[in-house]
Amino acid sequence: MKRGRLSWSTRSGRALAWQAALLLLLVLCGWALASHAAGSLAERQIRTGFGFLGQRAGFDIGEGPVPYGPADSYLRAFAAGLANTLRVSLLGILLATPLGALVGLGRLSRNLLLRGLCGAWVEVLRNVPLVIQLFAWYLAITELLPEAASPLLLAPHVFLSKGGLQLPLPALAGGLSLELPEVTAFGVQGGLSLTPEFLALLAGLTTATSASIAEVVRAGVLAVPRGQAEAALALGLSRRQLVRKVLLPQALRVIVPPLTSQYLNLTKNSSLAVAIGYPDVVSIANTAINQSGQALECILLIMAVYLTVNLCTALLMNLYNRRVALVER
């Protein structure tokens, strides 16, 4: 058989023709969009290119591990936003995983009350939009908590108020010491301060994702056949051994892949920060678009950021998955 003959009568010939047509269509569409975009950008006198990243941004960012002032560049603003996104996502994942696991196991409990409560937790959080939950958390923190001058004392030196949460901050000034927050007439000063926006986003993401993780964990545990536990008990394993050596390894195999996508969802959902004004990368991009008008570049930047973050998370979780996955002969 002659391979690759350019004719409609052969299968490979038809495939080649279809693909050529598709390529042509894509190129044409791309060209049409690009030329039109170039035209309308010129018409609105919007510059193009990533040159604006080096310019002075001129807006302020309230918080974050990357120090940032109005005199800094757009590039630094994006870096500060990315750091804020990573900070809330990482902390959210760390908190939502144990909470979700507990709720998921609670739904399997033999105790009717506990089961019902965990079920209600999952149903309510999964069936109300996250945006609504975030607005509600934010308003609850900024309206219902006491004023910053008379904060709630949660633990020694841990204060909660409309101004956010203040914690002791470990400092390395002349040996290890703790920088303690103090209550002053202007609110709580010093120590590690978490803003209401951060707290609302963290609380919303953690609780909402914990409900999804609970479902993943429940499905994973239910996927282990009953006989496995019965066989282990019949062999004389203790309950502890049963869970550690038999149930957990088999359940994890089912749990880890969907858990990965829940982590990715949490990271993506952290973009809802823009709704309550937490300066994550999307909020920064939103401000930058409104200021510089360079929407295309800013949107490309956020997409690149999310794709990279997702890829890294997926890579890490796949490595972990390889450890727990079934080893077949």
* Residues that bind other proteins in the complex, under the rule CB under 8 A: 15, 18-19, 22-23, 26, 32-33, 36-37, 40-41, 109-114, 117, 123-124, 126-132, 135-136, 139-140, 143, 268-269, 271-272, 274-275, 282, 285-286, 289, 295-296, 299, 302-303, 306-307, 310-311
311: Cβ contacts below 8 Å, ≥ 6 apart: none
Residue closer to other proteins by CB (options 34, 94) is 34
Question: Closest approach of Cβ 76 to other proteins, in Å?
Answer: 21
Strand partners, 177: 171
Structure tokens at 277: 């004004």
Question: Closest approach of Cβ 124 to other proteins, in Å?
Answer: 7
Q: Which of 324, 281, 316, 297 is nearest to 41 (CA)?
A: 297
Residue closer to other proteins by CB (options 166, 269) is 269
Distance CA(184)–CA(163), nearest Å, equals 13
Residue 134 contacts residue 275 (beta carbons within 8 Å):
yes
- The letter for the amino acid at 194 is L
Residue closer to other proteins by CB (options 139, 316) is 139
Write down the residue that tokens 């309206």 correspond to. Answer: 143
Secondary structure of residue 237 in the 3-state scheme: coil
Residue closer to other proteins by CB (options 311, 325) is 311
Q: What is the DSSP letter of 59?
A: -
Distance CA(127)–CA(209), nearest Å, equals 12
Question: Closest approach of Cβ 81 to other proteins, in Å?
Answer: 13
Residue closer to other proteins by CB (options 54, 116) is 116
Question: Closest approach of Cβ 37 to other proteins, in Å?
Answer: 5
| In the chain, alpha helices (H) | 11-43, 74-107, 112-126, 130-139, 196-222, 226-234, 239-241, 248-269, 273-276, 281-292, 295-324
Question: Closest approach of Cβ 30 to other proteins, in Å?
Answer: 11
Residue closer to other proteins by CB (options 175, 236) is 236
Strand partners, 212: none
Structure tokens at 43: 């018409």
Distance CA(124)–CA(218), nearest Å, equals 17
216: Cβ contacts below 8 Å, ≥ 6 apart: 100, 104, 255, 258, 259, 262
Question: Closest approach of Cβ 159 to other proteins, in Å?
Answer: 22
What's the burial of 44, exposed, middle or buried (CB within 10 Å: 0-12/13-18/19+)? exposed
Residue closer to other proteins by CB (options 126, 322) is 126
Question: Closest approach of Cβ 274 to other proteins, in Å?
Answer: 6
Phi-psi region of 279 (alpha: psi -120 to 50; beta: other; left: phi over 0): beta
Question: Closest approach of Cβ 248 to other proteins, in Å?
Answer: 20
Question: Closest approach of Cβ 311 to other proteins, in Å?
Answer: 8
- Using only the alpha carbons of the chain, give its radius of gyration: 26
Residue closer to other proteins by CB (options 303, 316) is 303
